[in-house]
Structures are given as structure tokens and as C-alpha cells.
Amino acid sequence: MSEPSLHAAAAKDDAAAIARLLAAGAEIDSRDDTGATALLVATHANRVAAAKALIEAGGDVNAKDRIEDSPYLYAGARGHLEILKMTLRHGADLKSTNRYRGTALIPVSERGHVETVRTLIEAGVDVDHVNNLHWTALLEAIILGDGGERHQRIVDLLVKAGADVNLADGDGVTPLQHARNRGLRQIEATLVAAGAKTTMTDDDRFLGEAIELARANIARGGRPFGAVLARDGEVLATAVNEIHATNDPTSHAELNAIRAASRKLGSPDLKGSAVYASGHPCPMCMAAMRLSGVEKVSYAYSNDDGAPFGLSTAAIYEDLARPFAEQSMTIRHVPVRTQGKADLYAEWTSARSKQASP
Ligand SMILES: [Zn+2]
């Protein structure tokens, strides 16, 4: 019978075959067609005996495959604790990162392997490392964890290890806000005890106000939409959807807020302002906000949230993204000009220059 390859022996957890193959001159860090070494193959399948034989024979615990997993990173991320401990004793690079530019601590915090989290923290992995999705281990545990006992313990370990409880994600949402959004009371208490700032951001405050405006509108027989238009943290206008009262099909909350704010300012320019809408803005309001200079839009209820209630405008967005000829509405360019009269736009330009000069 012929000897298996080093990779096959690793997959079968056959330490004796590994020893024979290495003695016969097999290259310990040779790669298969995914770029994986035999040690990474053993790690993938959590083959402890094979991993031990390979590591003790000098296998590279940091050798990455094509998707940037190394034995150390994979064992850490998956909670393969025995292999992880061996890699830590044999030169694991604690600063190495995976394809998301994250340390092993980030994915394993999501997966809920408490002892692995403890082991990585004790080994000295940076608890505040931020990956390219702008998440820390703490955020990952809170956002993607199940909120149960294991994730509570992981949050506890991270906080005790000095994780920054106020380090927000890419959208500025803090761990505490995520915990509150998910209703994770225990984790919320841990974060507050560790000094998480409890003040609400403008986003929270104004979106909460927009939702309450929408709720009050329901009581008046209107649709569940409200909007707050603010600049530099100051509310310029609030509005609700008034179609029920006016029969104006454009009487959307965001449009009404723009109308009220520009009237109040005596200017059509709302540059630098932000709109907080209870629901995903429709394309009409989105375009109006752009045209008026609104620079930031936040909304609380998504189109997905609204779809079961017939309150999604996703289909219109989709239609509008197509070329005119492919849209459901007939849109034609018919270049009519009125005979014997000045060109419309030229007339406007000349009228403006006359109005400007005395
Ligand atoms: Zn709208």
C-alpha cells in the first residue's frame, strides 16, 4: 500500500503516517490547490493529533491559504481550542488578520466560544482591534451573537480585559445602542457598569421623535410616517404624511418637512441639514432632499420592514434605476419648439440679466 499524501494523513488525523512522510522527506509546509498546508487541513477538521505532529515537527502556524486563513487564525476563529493553544506556544502571530482584516478574537466572539475568547485575551490579542467592516470583537459579540449566556460571558471577558465600550461601528452606533436595539438587557447592564455613555445621539433622539410623530398621525387617521429636519443639532421643522387630510399624493412627511423648513428660513437652500424619517424615504422625497441640499438622511423602518404592510417603495426604486425605455411609465423625449418665438431657455437667461441690472 502506498503512503497517503501529507494532506491526506492530516485529514485522517494519522500522526504515525505524518511522522513517516516527514522522515521520508515530505515538505512540511507544502500547499494543496487551495493554498492550504497539511497543518491547516488538520486545523480545518480539528484533527488534534495530526496538528500536534505537524506543529512539533516545525509546521508554520501562520501560513495562510488563498482566503487568508492560517492554522492560528482558523483555530482561533472556530474555537478549536487545543490546536489554538498549540499554535500560541509555537509562534502564532497575534497581530495577523483574516480576509476581513480582523483578528481571531472578532469571529470567535460572535461564535460564542467562551474559553477560546479567554485564551486569546490572555495571549495578548488586541481587544479593540477594528476590522474592515468597522467592527470590534465587542460589537461582533453583541450584534451577531445570540444574546444568551455564552455571549454575556464573552462581553464580560472583553469588558474586563479593557475593551473600549464606547467604540462605535462605522455608522456611529455604539455597543450600548446595539445591545438596546436587540433588547439584550444583561449585556446592556454590563456595558453601562463599564462606563458606556448613555446619552442618546442625534440619530436616536430625532428618529425617536419622527416615530412618535408618525404614531400621532395614525391616531388622526393618517399614514404612519413622520419626519424631522434638523441642522447643527437644531430642529428646523417636523412634519407628517398628510395625504389623508389633503388628498395631495405628494404630501409625504419628508416633503412637508422640506416645505416647512424652507418657508421658515425664507430660502430654498437647506444645505447642511439632515432629515430623520420614521420610514425609508420614497424616491420622490429622496430626490427632493437632494435638490434642497439636505446632506444626511436617516430612517428607522426599512423597506423590508414596510413590505408586509404594503409600505415599501423598493419596486419604484428598482423601476427608476432602469433606462427610460425599460421603465413601466411611458417616458418620451419630443423636441417640440414654438414657431417664431425666442428659445425658452435663452429667454430666461436674458430676462434674468435684465432683472439683475438696473
Ligand atoms: Zn416620500
57-102 residue pLDDT tens: 999 999 999 999 999 999 999 999 999 999 999 999 999 999 999 9
Looking at the chain, list the stretches that DSSP marks H as alpha helix, in order from N- to C-terminal side. Answer: 6-11, 15-23, 38-44, 48-56, 71-78, 81-89, 105-111, 114-123, 137-144, 149-160, 175-181, 185-193, 202-219, 243-246, 253-265, 283-292, 303-306, 314-320, 344-356
Indicate which residue of 68, 149, 254, 318 is catalytic: 254
For residue 171, the model assigns a pLDDT of 82
* Cα 129 to averaged position of ligand 1 atoms, centre (Å): 40
For residue 172, the model assigns a pLDDT of 82
What does the block give as the cell for 356? 439683475
Residue 327, number of CB atoms within 10 A of its CB: 14
Which amino acid appears at position 160 of this protein? K
- pLDDT over threshold 80, residue 357: no
Which amino acid appears at position 334 of this protein? V
For residue 2, the model assigns a pLDDT of 63
* Cα 333 to averaged position of ligand 1 atoms, centre (Å): 26
- pLDDT over threshold 60, residue 8: yes
* Cα 281 to averaged position of ligand 1 atoms, centre (Å): 5
254 is catalytic: yes
For residue 135, the model assigns a pLDDT of 95
For residue 264, the model assigns a pLDDT of 96
Residues 6+ apart with CB under 8 A from 166: 174, 175, 176, 195, 196, 197
Looking at per-residue pLDDT, the higher value among 6 and 357 belongs to: 6
For residue 240, the model assigns a pLDDT of 98
Mean pLDDT over each residue of the chain, to the nearest integer: 95
For residue 358, the model assigns a pLDDT of 60
Span 247-257, average pLDDT: 98
* pTM given for the model: 0.60
For residue 355, the model assigns a pLDDT of 85
3-class DSSP assignment, residue 148: coil
277-297 residue pLDDT tens: 999 999 999 999 999 999 999
Span 33-42, average pLDDT: 97
**What is the Cα–Cα distance from 190 to 147, expressed in whole angstroms?**
13
Looking at per-residue pLDDT, the higher value among 181 and 198 belongs to: 181
Positive/negative CA dihedral, 20, 26, 29, 34: negative
**What is the Cα–Cα distance from 162 to 146, expressed in whole angstroms?**
22
159-190 residue pLDDT tens: 999 999 999 998 888 999 999 989 999 999 99
Span 314-328, average pLDDT: 97
* Cα 286 to averaged position of ligand 1 atoms, centre (Å): 7
What does the block give as the cell for 178? 446595539
- Strands (DSSP E) found in 204-295: 226-231, 234-240, 273-279
The CA-based dihedral angle spanning residues 268, 269, 273, 274, taken in that order and rounded to the nearest 10 degrees: 50
